[in-house]
Chain A
Amino acid sequence: MKYLAQQAINALQLGSIYALIALGYSMVYGVLTMINFAHGDVFMLGAFFCLLLIALVPVPFWLALIVVMAATALLGTLIERFAYRPLRKAPRVSAIITALGCGLVIQNTTLGISPYARPMPRLLENATYQFGGVTITMLQIVIIGVSLGLMLALDFLIRKTSFGMAMRAIASDRAMVSLLGIPANEIIAITFAIGAALGGAAGLLYGMAYPVVSASMGITVGWKAFVAAVIGGIGNMRGAVLGAFILGSVEVMTVAVLPSTYRDLISYSLLLLILVFKPYGLLGKPALHKA
Chain B
Amino acid sequence: MSGLLETRRLTRQFGGLRAIGDLSLSVNRGEILGVIGPNGAGKTTLFNLLTGIYPPSSGEILFEGLPIAGLRPSEIARRGVARTFQNIRLFRQLTVLENVRIAYDSQIVCSPPDALLSTPHARLREKESINASMELLELFELGSLAENRAGDLSYGAQRRLEIVRALALDPKLLLLDEPAAGMNPSEAMQLTDFLRWVHGKFSLTIVLIEHHMQMVMALSDRIEVLDFGVRIAGGKPDEVKGNPRVIEAYLGTEGELP
Verify B73–A157 contact, CB threshold 8 A. Answer: no
- Residues of A within 8 Å of B111, CB to CB, are 163
B169 interfacial contact with A, CB 8 Å: yes
- Residues of A within 8 Å of B94, CB to CB, are 165, 168-169, 172
Tell me the complex Cα distance, A289–B103, Å. 20
Question: Could you say which interface size class chain B belongs to?
Answer: 20 to 34
Cβ distance A85 to chain B, nearest Cβ, rounded Å: 14
- Residues of A within 8 Å of B122, CB to CB, are 161
Verify B91–A168 contact, CB threshold 8 A. Answer: yes
A106 interfacial contact with B, CB 8 Å: no
A153 interfacial contact with B, CB 8 Å: yes
Q: From A165, A180, A289, name the one whose CB has the most chain B CB atoms within 10 angstroms.
A: A180
Verify B112–A194 contact, CB threshold 8 A. Answer: yes
- Residues of A within 8 Å of B125, CB to CB, are 162
A117 interfacial contact with B, CB 8 Å: no
- Residues of B within 8 Å of A176, CB to CB, are 89, 91
Cβ distance B148 to chain A, nearest Cβ, rounded Å: 16
Query: Taking chain A's interface residues, is the majority helix, strand, or loop, or is none over half, making it mixed?
Result: helix
- Residues of B within 8 Å of A179, CB to CB, are 51, 53, 73-74, 77, 82-83
Verify A180–B169 contact, CB threshold 8 A. Answer: yes
A175 to chain B: closest residue by CB: B53
Cβ distance B216 to chain A, nearest Cβ, rounded Å: 23
A172 to chain B: closest residue by CB: B91
> Quick one: CB contact mask for A243-270 with B, threshold 8 Å, 1 for yes?
0000000000000000000000000000
> Quick one: CB contact mask for B116-154 with A, threshold 8 Å, 1 for yes?
100000100110010000000000000000000001000
- Residues of A within 8 Å of B91, CB to CB, are 168-169, 172-173, 176
B190 interfacial contact with A, CB 8 Å: no
B105 interfacial contact with A, CB 8 Å: yes
- Residues of A within 8 Å of B12, CB to CB, are none
Name B151's contact: one of A153, A177, A288 (CB within 8 Å). A288
Question: Could you say which interface size class chain A belongs to?
Answer: 20 to 34
B109 interfacial contact with A, CB 8 Å: yes
Tell me the complex Cα distance, A160–B116, Å. 9
Verify A181–B78 contact, CB threshold 8 A. Answer: yes
Verify B112–A180 contact, CB threshold 8 A. Answer: no
> Quick one: CB contact mask for A50-87 with B, threshold 8 Å, 1 for yes?
00000000000000000000000000000000000000
A184 interfacial contact with B, CB 8 Å: yes
Verify B169–A162 contact, CB threshold 8 A. Answer: no
Tell me the complex Cα distance, A163–B72, Å. 19
- Residues of A within 8 Å of B129, CB to CB, are 162
- Residues of B within 8 Å of A184, CB to CB, are 74
Tell me the complex Cα distance, A289–B98, Å. 18
Verify B116–A172 contact, CB threshold 8 A. Answer: no
Cβ distance A217 to chain B, nearest Cβ, rounded Å: 28
Query: Within B86-120, which residues are at the interface with A (CB < 8 Å)?
Result: 89, 91-94, 98, 101-103, 105-107, 109-112, 115-116
- Residues of B within 8 Å of A163, CB to CB, are 110-112, 115
Verify B73–A175 contact, CB threshold 8 A. Answer: yes
Name B72's contact: one of A178, A180, A190, A291 (CB within 8 Å). A178
Verify B72–A165 contact, CB threshold 8 A. Answer: no
A11 interfacial contact with B, CB 8 Å: no
Contacts A153-B116, A157-B115, A163-B112; A288 near B92 (Cβ below 8 A): yes
B159 interfacial contact with A, CB 8 Å: no
Tell me the complex Cα distance, A160–B126, Å. 9
Cβ distance B130 to chain A, nearest Cβ, rounded Å: 11
Contacts A180-B106, A181-B103; A168 near B51 (Cβ below 8 A): no
- Residues of A within 8 Å of B115, CB to CB, are 157, 160-163
Cβ distance B131 to chain A, nearest Cβ, rounded Å: 14
- Residues of B within 8 Å of A288, CB to CB, are 92-93, 151
B165 interfacial contact with A, CB 8 Å: yes
Verify B74–A178 contact, CB threshold 8 A. Answer: yes
Name A173's contact: one of B89, B107, B169 (CB within 8 Å). B89
Tell me the complex Cα distance, A194–B73, Å. 25
A-B interface, 8 closest residue pairs, ranked by CB to CB distance from nearest: A181-B106, A181-B77, A162-B105, A161-B115, A178-B73, A181-B78, A169-B91, A180-B103
Given contacts A169-B94, A175-B53, A179-B51, 4 further A-B contacts (CB under 8 A): A162-B110, A166-B102, A180-B106, A182-B106
Supply 25 A–B pairs (Cβ within 8 Å), ascending by A.
Answer: A153-B116, A156-B116, A157-B112, A160-B115, A161-B115, A161-B122, A162-B125, A172-B92, A172-B93, A173-B91, A176-B89, A179-B83, A180-B74, A180-B102, A180-B103, A180-B169, A181-B74, A181-B77, A181-B78, A182-B74, A183-B74, A288-B92, A288-B93, A288-B151, A289-B92
